[in-house]
A and B are shown apart, each in its own frame.
Chain A
Amino acid sequence: MSLAECRSAGALEVKFVPDEDVLRHIADDAGIKVQKGKNQLIANPKRFVKKLEAISDDEAQEVLEEKSYVAVLGVCGEESMTNGSSVGGGEVYTFQTPKRSNKMAELASELAQTPGQSAVPDPSKCPEKTAKTPQSSKRSSSSQVQQKTKKNEFVSTTPYRLRKRLAAPDAQLESESEYSASCSEEEEGEEAQKEVSTVLSHQKTPAKTKAVSTPPSRKTLTKKKDNMNDLVEEYFEAHSSSKVLTSDRTLQKLRRKRLNQFLEEINCLNVAELQQTLHDLLQKSPLAYAAEIKELNQQYESLFSKWMLQLHLGFNIVLYGLGSKHDLLEKFRTSMLQDCVHLVVNGYFPSITVKSVLNSITEEVLDHIGTFRSPLDQLEFIMKRFKEDSSLELYVLIHNLDSQMLRGERSQQILAQLSSLPSIYLIASIDHINAPLMWDQAKQSLYNWLWYETTTFSPYVEETSYENSLLVQQSGSLALSSLTHVLRSLTPNARGIFRLLAQYQLENKDNASYPGLSFQDFYQQCREAFLVNSDLTLRAQLTEFRDHKLIRTKRGADGVEYLLIPVDDSTLSDFLEKEDEDI
């Protein structure tokens, strides 16, 4: 903050501060809506006082500003969470920076604790956090001060802890060296914000406890305007920091023991079984609001015959909304379609393709034997058959039309053309938030959708049950176990080949642009290790690896073939360790 600014602030102070602000200060503690302009004025004397009090060191002031800026961010974050349903998503979910998750965790831990407990977030609970970009900055410091000082004028806003930190900033940093700077800032932010929300307090513990009890709506009222300004800055803030630091801890660390335990217990190699366990576990925890959800579903079920009618009238139906629609569609199928030829497509199935959809129509529905040169030909054939024979009718149910495999432009085009046939009735569900972007005008008119919102709130059991679900797939232990299992069945030579590749990859793990080991080099190395005698044998071996998805090949820009093991480094080193033990 510049001195000039302070000076001008001082000038203003004389003119405006006295009556109403003091009055307000005395009279209301429960938060009348404070206008922004007034805030500014109130802020000024405040700043002046603060200046007198703590200005001795300019640098300290800088630090203060920086930290309290974070306080503002904290305020916004908090607000966005509290201000309910009326606002659009952009405002409801302003997760401005990744440190939001920390907030959640903190809040979580806080909520979990009884109010009586000391509310100081234990630093040890706060894992490594996002580094603030250094320019997090003075530019919005003024707005921050406004907010802070709205109520507690003439009292230092500097939170107790902050002051403490100011006194010995270096020591603080040292003591918390385990965490990145933003961690402590974050806490401060929360702290400061809470102080704003309560009245006059510079002792932090009471502030905490009070904060819990204050109605959250007040904050939203008072800060709406500032919020807008901040939002703009925050946006650039969020997008300017190119490098977001995140924790290096992985779930694996947490889970290694557990999943190994899992694997040993049930000796499960395939994902399905693991999923089953998962599923079983979840079954134990009862679904909340089961009765309400059931009622909701019954409402949707009453629409079934209307759907049928509309399907027959040439529309196709798409279901959207939160919650798995699998069961709903399944029920629709069993109750309405028993006597009709119908095709169910599990879009979430990881290896589904349009080709397989078309194949099942030609082969099973139309009983056609023979192959087609391209999906387009096949489509043409189907369309021709359906046009010729008006008695042919087909209901197509697609769960997750927006799945990874079906969302491609060509797939959608083909499905849209299929659905435009008058005797093919399509009913599909979509879940992805951006699913409607798949369709341009042309496709949309081919589909001829009628949209139905069917928010079921039921868990996506089926949809997430295949291996493409994030955590299960990535869990290194699983990959590790499959690696060892597959490799155990191979010849020692083959294992040696794989080891070579793994070692080479580990050696290069720090090289971000490591393309993989080129085939020629690999062959050379294998020869030197007496593992293969011709590149043909190596190729045969590699094919086997590839079939088991142990390696991946890709062509570099120079046309050379590069080999990679698509497993993360830690798993790979675990694997090598294990192999060493075995030998």
Chain B
Amino acid sequence: MSTRSLSKGCFVFKPSPKKRKVSRTTAYYFREGSSDLEDSELRFATCQSLQKQVKSETEQIEEELNEQLFDNLVSFLRRSHSAFQEKKTEWTCRTKSREIPTAALVLGVNVTDHDFTFRSLSEVLQNNVTPYIALLEAKDCPGIKNLMQKLLGQLMNCCIDVDSSEEEDYEHVSRSRVRCSMTTLINWYESATKRTDSETPGKKRTSSRHWQSPPVVVIFKDMESFTTKVLQDFVVISSQHIGEFPLVLIFGIATSPMIIHSLLPHSVSSLLCIELFQSLSCKDHLSTIIDKILLTTQFPLKLSEKVLQVLINIFLYHDFSVQNFIKGFQLCIVEHFHSNPLSVLCCQLEEAKRRVNSLSHNQCENVRRLPSFRRYVESQVSEKQIALLTVDSSLKEAVQKLLEDLNVYHENYFPILRCLHVFTSSLPKYPLGKQIRELHCACLENRVWETEEYESSLQLARMLNKSDLVTMLQKCVEILVSSPGREFDEIVEKLKEFLTQFQKLEEAYQERDESISPQKELQKKTNLYHLQKTLLELKESRRSKKLTKFEMLRFEVVDYIDSLVRHYLVPADHKTLHEIVYFNTASVLREHLNAAPRIALHTALNNPYSYLKAFSTVVTAAEGPTADAASSDQVDDVIHARFIRAVSELELLGFIKPSKQKTDHVARLTWGGC
């Protein structure tokens, strides 16, 4: 069956049922597309499990991050709800107050992340507060009618979820689609709550986690995109009925809370009793994610500096979306396992050691081909070299050891990185970056201690005052103690020693008697000659002045930190076998996530292609330089057809468009068009 037709543009292809066997699994395609067939099943399984792990981990992190916000929201709901309960009893109040309790939820510009937040919010509310939740999006609600329809649909459906046994209720819902008004909503609410109140105890169990006469929560996911009129109408209408059922609104706001007032006139916004809630900024969010996912030994796969840089740049310069960042990370996982046959070893250490034993000969060859491994081989003695290059078993042994080393390296790397970050993040102007991710990138890129920034930050660190220094050391001790690294006992000891020395210094300082300062002496002199002399002496003495004890200690501390950095923060690509756990083809990532179609067009068109087309007249002229005037009217058919096609192609690509003013004229659209 062809997909070319003059009468339709959609073609459905359905394989005959008997032909439609079990569709190929994802693993099949993984195997098919993979460059090297070695261990593809195992790789795929590892990849999947890692992806799953990352997913659940990120979700958990997000939940934790949102917890505070949700708690605040729930307590807000509780407050407004209790107010309603009171009001219900006081009939006089009921007619007076028509304010709808409203929570303005400022979520930031990373709109794509909001979906997840709202989903978990509604889950939380559903579990703890009320079954009656409606999530509204602007694109579904072009008019107030659609909005009401959507609202009722969602509310009544969730009612069915609660007691789905009643068939008649279902009919009721379908009937009510016809008339969607506030009155139906109220009637529905009354009947729904009444029913749950009069339920048998057995049924009550389901609704017991909800409050009595639970509030109806309406969430506007993207408040800014709603049309003013719809919002206004809804607010005004529902404020008329606020006394009859407990309604709470939640506005999701991406920009600033001021938007409520610019969207709604005062007469409407005065009907709302707004309380503001601020979610965590997306940058903090990202920092947490990086901290928990990338800067741990928990996940075997690591990102190289360039890849991380690409992901962070996409985040910072394009969308601020944490979800996209995670998606990028997921893509890294897939790409790594897909393209690298040795990625089979990219798992937890014990498992990896086991897998090393079962490596095939081909895979051993793959290991031998790794640049980092070759460097390692070259550094060995010759007998060892031969063994490594020819005997698989000795290679496997070496690989096991090297993997262990790599693991130890990571175990040490991250805590020391954090310690260094403690120091650098408090320096003025942040020569090594404010965020730990910047420091991480710097360390991955090359030997950080060779950089100018590191030099200047050490210098700045040598000027820190004592109290700062002490708190930093204490923080470092905390970090090191809580980390699983095995070699840290010594370091912790040393740091503690520094701390006690500082302590002693303080005591010593207090006891120290004050000698007459040279400045005081200076004041005594009145003679100009003497003054000059003393000043010169003073200068001399300052040059050779002995450092105070504190300064010496400070130098010692900084030097010690420096030595730690030099020892532990070696860039990963200096490590043998780093290719196995580091994903470093940043270009792939950039190409697929941050593509530049225009550039592609440019480069493609920079070929002689376009000129060939544009100058197709040249072709004819060249072929027949004597082309006479008579034939200029009758252009060659082929040339003509080519010209027509070229023009239509240009139009398709969006370079030109037909101008409406004149027949057969086109206007240029891109690249300096008028």
Residues of A within 8 A of B (CB): 84-85, 88-90, 92-98, 104-105, 107-109, 111-114, 235, 238-239, 241, 244, 246, 248, 250-252, 254-255, 257-258, 272, 277-278, 281-282, 284-285, 288, 303-310, 312-313, 315, 320-323, 330, 333, 337-349, 351-352, 356-357, 359-361, 364-365, 376, 393, 400, 413, 430-436, 441-442, 444-445, 448, 450-453, 455, 457, 459-464, 469-472, 474, 476, 568, 570
**A89 — which chain B residues lie within 8 A by C-beta?**
598-599, 602, 670-671
**B662 — which chain A residues lie within 8 A by C-beta?**
246, 248, 250
**B664 — which chain A residues lie within 8 A by C-beta?**
250-252, 471, 474
**B605 — which chain A residues lie within 8 A by C-beta?**
322
B649 within 8 A of partner (CB)? yes
**A393 — which chain B residues lie within 8 A by C-beta?**
23
B597 and A430 within 8 A (CB): yes
A238 and B604 within 8 A (CB): no
B547 within 8 A of partner (CB)? no
Q: How large is the interface on B (under 10, 10 to 19, 20 to 34, 35 or more residues)?
A: 35 or more
In the assembled complex, the Cα of A524 lies from the Cα of B668 at a distance in Å of 43
Interchain nearest-CB distance for A314 vs B (Å):
8
A322 and B600 within 8 A (CB): yes
Closest to B339 in A: A306
Interchain nearest-CB distance for B282 vs A (Å):
12
B29 within 8 A of partner (CB)? yes
B398 within 8 A of partner (CB)? no
A239 and B674 within 8 A (CB): yes
In the assembled complex, the Cα of A366 lies from the Cα of B594 at a distance in Å of 35
B595 within 8 A of partner (CB)? yes
B663 and A250 within 8 A (CB): yes
**A339 — which chain B residues lie within 8 A by C-beta?**
15, 19-21, 23-24
Interchain nearest-CB distance for B662 vs A (Å):
7
B638 and A309 within 8 A (CB): no
B595 and A451 within 8 A (CB): yes
- Known contacts A303-B33, A445-B321, A464-B652; decide if A321 and B621 are in contact (CB<8 Å): no
Q: What are the interface flags for B158-178 relative to A under an 8 Å C-beta threshold, 1 for contact and 0 otherwise?
A: 000000000000000000000
Q: What are the interface flags for B416-429 relative to A under an 8 Å C-beta threshold, 1 for contact and 0 otherwise?
A: 00000000000000
B205 within 8 A of partner (CB)? no
B637 and A281 within 8 A (CB): yes
Interchain nearest-CB distance for A417 vs B (Å):
9
**A255 — which chain B residues lie within 8 A by C-beta?**
640
B323 within 8 A of partner (CB)? yes
A448 and B327 within 8 A (CB): yes
**5 A-B contacts, Cβ less than 8 Å apart?**
A84-B606, A89-B602, A108-B615, A345-B10, A460-B645
B601 within 8 A of partner (CB)? yes
In the assembled complex, the Cα of A344 lies from the Cα of B8 at a distance in Å of 11
The number of inter-chain residue pairs (CB within 8 angstroms) is 286
Interchain nearest-CB distance for B623 vs A (Å):
9
B651 within 8 A of partner (CB)? yes
A322 and B653 within 8 A (CB): yes
B651 and A470 within 8 A (CB): yes
- Known contacts A281-B638, A282-B642, A472-B644; decide if A108 and B617 are in contact (CB<8 Å): yes
In the assembled complex, the Cα of A441 lies from the Cα of B5 at a distance in Å of 35
Interchain nearest-CB distance for A271 vs B (Å):
9
B528 within 8 A of partner (CB)? no
In the assembled complex, the Cα of A251 lies from the Cα of B666 at a distance in Å of 12
**A431 — which chain B residues lie within 8 A by C-beta?**
652-654
**B505 — which chain A residues lie within 8 A by C-beta?**
none
Partner of A93, one of B24, B112, B595, B672: B672
A460 and B665 within 8 A (CB): no
A306 and B638 within 8 A (CB): no
B529 within 8 A of partner (CB)? no
B658 and A474 within 8 A (CB): yes
Task: List 14 extra interface pairs beyond A306-B338, A312-B29, CB under 8 A.
Answer: A90-B671, A109-B617, A254-B633, A278-B645, A309-B338, A339-B23, A364-B12, A433-B601, A451-B591, A453-B595, A455-B603, A460-B645, A461-B645, A469-B652
B338 and A344 within 8 A (CB): no
Partner of B331, one of A305, A450, A455: A450
**A347 — which chain B residues lie within 8 A by C-beta?**
9
- Known contacts A95-B672, A435-B597, A441-B319; decide if A356 and B10 are in contact (CB<8 Å): yes
Interchain nearest-CB distance for B352 vs A (Å):
24
Closest to A117 in B: B625
10 A-B pairs with least C-beta separation: A349-B9, A112-B621, A451-B595, A305-B33, A322-B604, A352-B9, A469-B648, A305-B32, A464-B648, A445-B112
A441 and B597 within 8 A (CB): no
In the assembled complex, the Cα of A463 lies from the Cα of B19 at a distance in Å of 32
In the assembled complex, the Cα of A346 lies from the Cα of B592 at a distance in Å of 24
In the assembled complex, the Cα of A444 lies from the Cα of B8 at a distance in Å of 28
A309 and B30 within 8 A (CB): yes
B449 within 8 A of partner (CB)? no
**A257 — which chain B residues lie within 8 A by C-beta?**
633-634
A349 and B640 within 8 A (CB): no
B324 and A98 within 8 A (CB): no
Closest to B146 in A: A376
DSSP class of B's interface residues: helix, strand, loop or mixed?
helix
B671 and A309 within 8 A (CB): no
Interchain nearest-CB distance for A5 vs B (Å):
30
- Known contacts A435-B597, A455-B600; decide if A285 and B652 are in contact (CB<8 Å): no
A455 and B606 within 8 A (CB): no
B634 and A433 within 8 A (CB): no
In the assembled complex, the Cα of A239 lies from the Cα of B674 at a distance in Å of 6
**B319 — which chain A residues lie within 8 A by C-beta?**
441, 444
**A315 — which chain B residues lie within 8 A by C-beta?**
331
A441 and B111 within 8 A (CB): yes
Closest to A353 in B: B9
Partner of A285, one of B8, B331, B618, B638: B638
- Known contacts A111-B618, A323-B604, A413-B139; decide if A288 and B29 are in contact (CB<8 Å): no
Interchain nearest-CB distance for B321 vs A (Å):
7
**B665 — which chain A residues lie within 8 A by C-beta?**
246, 250
Partner of A113, one of B26, B29, B614, B621: B621
B593 within 8 A of partner (CB)? yes
B593 and A451 within 8 A (CB): yes
**B593 — which chain A residues lie within 8 A by C-beta?**
450-451
Interchain nearest-CB distance for B16 vs A (Å):
10
In the assembled complex, the Cα of A333 lies from the Cα of B12 at a distance in Å of 12
**A281 — which chain B residues lie within 8 A by C-beta?**
637-638, 640-641
- Pick the most buried of B15, B597, B647: most chain A CB atoms within 10 A of its CB: B597
Closest to B632 in A: A254
In the assembled complex, the Cα of A309 lies from the Cα of B333 at a distance in Å of 13
B91 within 8 A of partner (CB)? no
In the assembled complex, the Cα of A85 lies from the Cα of B601 at a distance in Å of 12
A469 and B10 within 8 A (CB): no
- Known contacts A282-B638, A365-B12; decide if A433 and B338 are in contact (CB<8 Å): no
Closest to A434 in B: B654
**B331 — which chain A residues lie within 8 A by C-beta?**
315, 450
In the assembled complex, the Cα of A244 lies from the Cα of B668 at a distance in Å of 12
**B29 — which chain A residues lie within 8 A by C-beta?**
305-306, 308-309, 312
B234 within 8 A of partner (CB)? no
- Known contacts A85-B603, A322-B601, A357-B10; decide if A433 and B666 are in contact (CB<8 Å): no
Closest to A258 in B: B634
Q: What are the interface flags for B618-641 relative to A under an 8 Å C-beta threshold, 1 for contact and 0 otherwise?
A: 100110010000000111011011
- Pick the most buried of B3, B4, B593: most chain A CB atoms within 10 A of its CB: B3
In the assembled complex, the Cα of A476 lies from the Cα of B663 at a distance in Å of 9
In the assembled complex, the Cα of A111 lies from the Cα of B12 at a distance in Å of 51
**A434 — which chain B residues lie within 8 A by C-beta?**
654, 670
B13 and A341 within 8 A (CB): yes
- Pick the most buried of A92, A241, A339: most chain B CB atoms within 10 A of its CB: A339
**A365 — which chain B residues lie within 8 A by C-beta?**
12, 14
B11 within 8 A of partner (CB)? yes
A450 and B592 within 8 A (CB): yes
- Known contacts A450-B592, A568-B663; decide if A471 and B644 are in contact (CB<8 Å): yes
B317 within 8 A of partner (CB)? no
